[in-house]
Each structure stands twice: as structure tokens, then as C-alpha cells.
Amino acid sequence: MDAPWKDYAAERFEQAAALLPWALRQGADRLSKGDKARAEELRLRVGRPPSAVWPEGERPLPGLENTPVQPGDLSLVLEVATQASVHTVLDRVRDGFVTVRGGHRVGLCGTAAVEEGEIRTLRQLSSLAIRVAREVPGAAEGLLPQLLEGGELQSAVLLSPPGGGKTTLLRDLIRRVSDGIGTAPLRVGVADERGELAAMYNGTPQNDLGARTDILDGCPKGPALLMLLRAMNPQVLAADEITAPADAEALAQAAGCGVKLLCTIHGGSLADLRRRPVCRRLMEEGLFRKVVLLQVREGQRVCRVEDLEGALC
């Protein structure tokens, strides 16, 4: 890890750690610059010591190994994250997370308040995860050439378990395609339902997704993809974490219009895709030509690209 990147990555961690109550922030501050640069999440669980997550695992923050998190600590984080206006982000709280300035995401767990079968809000918080948002320019440099055939971008799906780095890789792919780095520049429409790709804040993306990218933030992926298709004339559509039949239907419509697709799906192998009807449909209908399989081995992320033609038969 070179010095400029380490400085940048550590600063992003410190920005995320600033959401913590003062006493817990001291533990985050005690981490070395190298540990800060590699940390992916901060975790608070009531009754347990605060911890951080690295590619190789999770461990308590230094100096706080015997300091249990209190319920009030979680409430303070949420107050800071929402600038003391939880009601203004109620829809995101219902979804179990809040995206804050800088693109960091605060995931929430607790007791759900349910009305007429729908989650209205979360109360009595029991744990939270602050995911550190970082851009990694160049992450897709070696990958993009493998997604080209005859110089033309092919539709691809990025597959990994949670925490495998697929969102980071997708973000850099979007930027490179949009800016024409290693390929012809293309218009990209991004359905950013959870705000993790662009990290929009007051209408401004906190992450660089390229000069020719249009972003629809906070809208369910299925409707968002169709809105982008109809309104913005994209050459490429991108979305993070395809899960629902509506997502698959929208992607099928886009592919039928000649639009290339760049998406991510949770999973550890092609066998995982076979077991999920929505995913299997996408593959069997030929919506994706390439699959990028990401894994973490000995704390390092590795990926390989396979041609999907006939892979699920």
C-alpha cells in the first residue's frame, strides 16, 4: 500500500469514526495508520466491546476490550449520522441503514416497529455497523480488458459473498467506462438504491462515477432502471445487488434494447446462482456474457473472469 493511498484511506476511516461517541472514538484513534487504511467497518453491539473489521477478520478496538457498548452509544451515532433529524431519513431507517456525508453507510439492527405488515421504523437499537466508504481508482484496471470482446464492452455480473469488494470494483468499472479509460466512453445510468455507489449528498455524488454517468439515487432498482432506460438513453446500466424479480424484469427490458449491463449479486460461486430463481433466469436468458468471481484468500482479494455461455447448463 503506497503512502498517498494509505493517507487517503486512513482519512476516510477517521471521517467514518467521527460518527462515534467521544469515548469510543478514542479506541479508533489508537489504531495505527496502516490498520485505519485497511479497516472496512466499525461495529457496535450493546453489551460487547466496540470493534473494527478487516479483510482477515474482526477484533476489538484497542483499549476498549473490556468496555461494553451502551444503548445510548447507538442512539448518539444515529443522531450524528442524521444531524439530529432522524425523521428526515425515516425511509432509509426503515430499510435498516442510513447513508451519510462522504458515502459512509450506517447499518442498523434492533426491534422493528411493524404496521400492517410493513416495517415503519426501528426502535431499541441493539447493534450497528459503520461501513467505511472508499473509492479505489484503478481497482478495475486489470479487469476491464477481460470484459471486452472486439473492443466492445460485454454485460457482466460481479459475484462475491458480502464484504468481497464487488461494490468497490463496480464503482471503478463505471468510472472507467464513463470516462473512456481503456475502452470507448459510454453513457452510464446508475440505479443507486442504497446510495453506496455514488454516495449522493445534497444532489452531489461524493464518489467519482465518471463524466458521462447519470445517477438515480434512493429508488428501488427495478423502477429506477426503467426510468433511466426511458429518460436518459443509457448505453450501459449499472446496479448493485440484484435480488428481486422486478430487478430482473427491468434488466431484461434493457438488454432487449441493446443496453449493456454491469451488476453485482451476492454469492460465492456459480452454484449459488443455480439455486436462486431470479439469478438463474438472468443467466439462462443470456443477459450477462461474463461473470467476475471475487474471493478473499489470506486477507487478499482475488478475482477471475469466466464466460457465462453454457456455464449454467
Place of cell 461473470: 291
CA dist., res. 3 & res. 267, Å (int):
33
Per-residue pLDDT at 218 = 82
pLDDT tens digit sequence for 34-82: 999 999 999 999 999 999 999 889 999 999 999 999 999 998 898 888 7
Per-residue pLDDT at 273 = 78
Per-residue pLDDT at 162 = 77
Q: List all residues 6 or more positions away from 244 whose beta carbon is below 8 Å from its beta carbon.
A: 220, 221, 222, 278
Per-residue pLDDT at 313 = 37
CA dist., res. 155 & res. 215, Å (int):
19
Residue numbers in the chain where pLDDT is lower than 70:
1-2, 84-95, 114-122, 298-300, 309-313
* Range list of β-strands (E), the chain: 41-45, 51-54, 57-60, 97-99, 105-115, 118-131, 148-149, 152-153, 156-160, 188-192, 200-201, 204-205, 213-217, 236-239, 260-266, 290-297, 300-307
Place of cell 456455464: 311
CA dist., res. 59 & res. 107, Å (int):
18
CA dist., res. 135 & res. 6, Å (int):
12
Grid coordinates of 166: 464487488
pTM of the model: 0.79
CA dist., res. 204 & res. 14, Å (int):
22
Helix (H, G, I), strand (E, B) or coil at 18: coil
Residue 156 β-bridge partners: 262, 290
Per-residue pLDDT at 94 = 65
CA dist., res. 280 & res. 262, Å (int):
16
CA dist., res. 15 & res. 248, Å (int):
36
Per-residue pLDDT at 112 = 72
